[in-house]
């Protein structure tokens, strides 16, 4: 929880003060009360605090902790580094048992305030649903943050967007047998209940069979769980305004199918629905912020399980578009369900542009690592606007190429198209994108490959702890608000 108030009051269990090197050099601390200034001066004179980035030094003021937090040179400090530093301070042992924390930033600019909000709400997020509480641990897991800043609409918007990010993370982090397609439908229905200008379409297995979504059905046929295509139409713009379609890959678990994933790769595959979860988080933000745009939010839900009925390498399957697809690998399943969803939405909803979001290829992790989402787009203007949104939100993108000759990489000798690229292992991210492009029917389209950015399988990356990051929610929300 976060609240805004100005000026600083130093009336909570702990006050956290961000200090840069110029302030130390000039001994300029206007926000610090006179009673504390002498203590701070003694600390500086003794050389105990130089405001190096990430340096922490606690002072005790009666029953209150005053934590000095160094941020280095102001001219060298990025908002990314600021988020990381503030996260470290909030999670430090000095504040372990503190419930209410006041934060005073070193520079009251809007981008600094918003970075502090994200550090507090995104940076300190932890998935602890299944941890048994320790009765002897008096640590307060959830803190109330009081940010010493005058309330502004954009600050409240930043806090609301963080809630959408963390909803996405909750969906991804939970058990695969909990967060099923039915669970997704229930979550979406709960979000839109009572909202005006909303319509909901849900295609289950029976409807998919009737409509001919053969690719989606094939991927799910080894599972006992129901496949679903869940489509929310949000009418926030003018009656005659065009629509942007967001389509998220929602593999609630991905074994790889008969092309089984090996140990070391399969353990975190509950996160293969991160694209659909990002769509849900973005929908939450659109509703909370009353975004004045017309938007299609689509979650493409299936489970790629192993069974006697599982689809097989070498199969040829006809999708909703009418194209036939040769299955080169059953672990290239996400592009199959997305292809059917894009074909269905383009034909029946006629959006002006389509953006798909998917943990699609391990090749994207090889190419870009874990800090940048891969962007492939058929439309330069759309790509540019998404990249600008990424710059503003620190939800990073890097554009990869797509070009006419790439279509040869997904040709099949026995079908219209093949779901794996040729030659094997070459340009896996862009050949997967080329497969998807063939189902866009000329609609301006962008593809976000979040395979590397959606999940932290370890202790920490940037200002995210272990588990889901909510990749793409911030940038998509900003894009929708500003374009």
Looking at the structure, tell me whether residues 105 and 237 fall in a common domain: no
With contact defined as beta carbons under 8 Å apart, do 70 and 51 qualify?
A: yes
The predicted-structure confidence for 133-146, as pLDDT tens digits, reads as follows 876 665 545 899 99
The predicted-structure confidence for 171-181, as pLDDT tens digits, reads as follows 999 999 999 99
Q: Residue 33: its pLDDT value, please? A: 84
Strands (E) across 255-372 are located at 294-304, 316-318, 324-326, 353-358
Mean pLDDT of 289-317: 98
Distances (CA, A) of 64 to 10, 97, 122, 432: 9, 12, 25, 56
Distances (CA, A) of 238 to 198, 234, 241: 14, 11, 5
With contact defined as beta carbons under 8 Å apart, do 98 and 140 qualify?
A: yes
The predicted-structure confidence for 245-274, as pLDDT tens digits, reads as follows 999 999 999 999 999 999 999 999 999 999
Q: Residue 30: its pLDDT value, please? A: 79
pTM (2 d.p.): 0.96
Looking at the structure, tell me whether residues 76 and 181 fall in a common domain: no
Q: Is 385 helix (H, G, I), strand (E, B) or coil?
A: helix
Looking at the structure, tell me whether residues 68 and 180 fall in a common domain: no
Q: Residue 136: its pLDDT value, please? A: 64
Q: Which residue among 108, 123, 151 closes a domain?
A: 151
Handedness of CA 421, 424, 427, 428 (dihedral sign): positive
Quick check: 475 pLDDT over 80?
A: yes
Mean pLDDT of 108-118: 95
Total domains present in the chain: 2
Indicate the range of 99-108, 270-279, 314-323 predicted with least confidence. 99-108
Q: Which residue among 151, 170, 187 closes a domain?
A: 151
Structure tokens at 165: 């990010």
Q: Residue 230: its pLDDT value, please? A: 98
* CA-based end-to-end distance of the chain: 29
Domain CATH code at residue 166: 3.40.630.10
- Among candidate residues 143, 270, 284, 335, the one labeled active-site is 335
Q: Residue 465: its pLDDT value, please? A: 93
Q: Determine the structural domain holding residue 452 and report its residue range.
A: 158-482
Percent of the chain whose predicted confidence (pLDDT) is above 90: 89
With contact defined as beta carbons under 8 Å apart, do 329 and 259 qualify?
A: yes
With contact defined as beta carbons under 8 Å apart, do 378 and 402 qualify?
A: yes
Distance of alpha carbon 159 from alpha carbon 151, whole angstroms: 12
Backbone dihedral region for residue 427 (phi beyond 0: left; psi -120 to 50: alpha; all else: beta): left
Quick check: 427 pLDDT over 80?
A: yes
**Read out DSSP for 145-158?**
EEEES---HHHHHH
Distances (CA, A) of 49 to 72, 80, 201, 428: 11, 22, 59, 49
Backbone dihedral region for residue 321 (phi beyond 0: left; psi -120 to 50: alpha; all else: beta): alpha
Q: Residue 52: its pLDDT value, please? A: 96
Pairing of strands 316-318, 373-377: unpaired
Percent of the chain whose predicted confidence (pLDDT) is above 70: 99
Distances (CA, A) of 226 to 95, 127, 132, 250, 274: 46, 27, 32, 12, 18
With contact defined as beta carbons under 8 Å apart, do 419 and 411 qualify?
A: no
Mean pLDDT of 348-354: 98
Q: Is 396 helix (H, G, I), strand (E, B) or coil?
A: coil
Pairing of strands 417-418, 397-399: unpaired
Looking at the structure, tell me whether residues 162 and 118 fall in a common domain: no
Query: pLDDT tier at 90 (50, 70, 90 boundaries)?
Result: very high
With contact defined as beta carbons under 8 Å apart, do 248 and 278 qualify?
A: yes
Looking at the structure, tell me whether residues 103 and 143 fall in a common domain: yes
With a CB cutoff of 8 Å and minimum separation 6, the contacts of 230 are: 181, 184, 185, 188, 200, 201, 202, 203, 298, 299, 301
With a CB cutoff of 8 Å and minimum separation 6, the contacts of 20 are: 51, 70, 71, 72, 73, 74, 77, 106, 107
Looking at the structure, tell me whether residues 227 and 333 fall in a common domain: yes
In degrees rounded to 5, what are phi and psi of residue 400? -110, 155
Looking at the structure, tell me whether residues 218 and 274 fall in a common domain: yes
Looking at the structure, tell me whether residues 182 and 306 fall in a common domain: yes
Domain CATH code at residue 25: 3.40.220.10
Looking at the structure, tell me whether residues 288 and 415 fall in a common domain: yes
Looking at the structure, tell me whether residues 236 and 330 fall in a common domain: yes
Q: What is the mean pLDDT of the chain?
A: 95
Quick check: 195 pLDDT over 70?
A: yes
Query: pLDDT tier at 423 (50, 70, 90 boundaries)?
Result: confident
Distance of alpha carbon 330 from alpha carbon 321, whole angstroms: 20
Looking at the structure, tell me whether residues 138 and 216 fall in a common domain: no
Active site residue 261: yes
Indicate the range of 2-6, 268-272, 458-462 predicted with least confidence. 458-462
Quick check: 89 pLDDT over 80?
A: yes
Indicate the range of 32-41, 223-232, 320-329, 417-426 predicted with least confidence. 32-41
Q: Which residue among 104, 125, 151 closes a domain?
A: 151
Looking at the structure, tell me whether residues 122 and 162 fall in a common domain: no
- Among candidate residues 74, 205, 235, 261, the one labeled active-site is 261
Mean pLDDT of 36-45: 90
Residue with token string 């600050």: 155
In degrees rounded to 5, what are phi and psi of residue 229? -115, 110
């Amino acid at each position: 929880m976060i609240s805004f108030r100005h000026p600083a009051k130093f009336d909570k269990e702990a006050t956290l003060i961000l200090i840069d090197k110029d302030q130390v050099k000039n001994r300029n601390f206007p926000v610090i009360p006179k009673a504390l200034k002498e203590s701070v001066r003694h600390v500086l004179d003794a050389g105990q605090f130089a405001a190096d980035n990430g340096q922490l030094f606690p002072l005790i003021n009666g029953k209150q902790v005053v934590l000095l937090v160094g941020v280095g040179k102001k001219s060298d400090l990025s908002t990314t580094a600021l988020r990381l530093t503030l996260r470290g301070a909030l999670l430090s042992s000095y504040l372990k048992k503190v419930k209410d924390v006041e934060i005073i930033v070193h520079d009251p600019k809007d981008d600094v305030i918003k970075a502090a909000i994200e550090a507090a709400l995104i940076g300190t997020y932890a998935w602890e649903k299944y941890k048994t509480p320790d009765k002897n641990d008096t640590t307060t897991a959830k803190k109330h943050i009081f940010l010493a800043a005058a309330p502004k609409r954009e600050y409240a918007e930043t806090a609301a967007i963080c809630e959408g990010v963390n909803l996405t993370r909750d969906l991804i982090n939970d058990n695969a047998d909990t967060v099923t397609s039915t669970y997704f439908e229930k979550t979406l229905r709960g979000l839109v209940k009572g909202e005006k200008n909303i319509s909901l379409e849900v295609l289950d297995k029976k409807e998919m069979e009737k409509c001919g979504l053969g690719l989606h059905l094939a991927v799910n046929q080894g599972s006992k769980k129901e496949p679903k295509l869940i489509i929310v139409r949000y009418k926030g713009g003018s009656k005659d305004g065009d629509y942007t379609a967001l389509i998220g890959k929602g593999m609630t678990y991905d074994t790889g199918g008969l092309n089984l994933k090996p140990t070391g790769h399969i353990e975190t595959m509950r996160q293969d629905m991160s694209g659909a979860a990002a769509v849900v988080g973005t929908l939450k933000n659109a509703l909370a912020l009353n975004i004045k745009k017309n938007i299609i939010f689509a979650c493409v839900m299936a489970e790629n399980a192993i069974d006697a009925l599982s689809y097989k390498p070498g199969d040829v399957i006809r999708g909703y578009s009418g194209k036939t697809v040769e299955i080169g690998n059953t672990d290239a399943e996400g592009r199959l369900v997305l292809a059917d969803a894009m074909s269905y939405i383009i034909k029946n909803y006629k959006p002006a542009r389509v953006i798909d979001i998917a943990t699609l290829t391990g090749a994207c992790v090889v190419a870009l690592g874990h800090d940048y989402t891969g962007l492939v787009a058929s439309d330069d203007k759309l790509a540019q606007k998404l990249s600008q949104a990424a710059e503003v939100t620190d939800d990073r993108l890097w554009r990869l190429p797509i070009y006419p000759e790439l279509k040869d990489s997904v040709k099949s000798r026995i079908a219209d198209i093949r779901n794996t690229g040729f030659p094997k292992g070459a340009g896996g991210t862009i050949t997967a994108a080329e497969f998807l492009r063939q189902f866009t029917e000329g609609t301006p389209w962008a593809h976000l490959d979040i395979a590397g950015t959606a999940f932290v399988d370890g202790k920490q990356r940037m200002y995210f702890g272990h588990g889901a990051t909510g990749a793409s929610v911030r940038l998509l929300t900003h894009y929708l608000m500003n374009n």
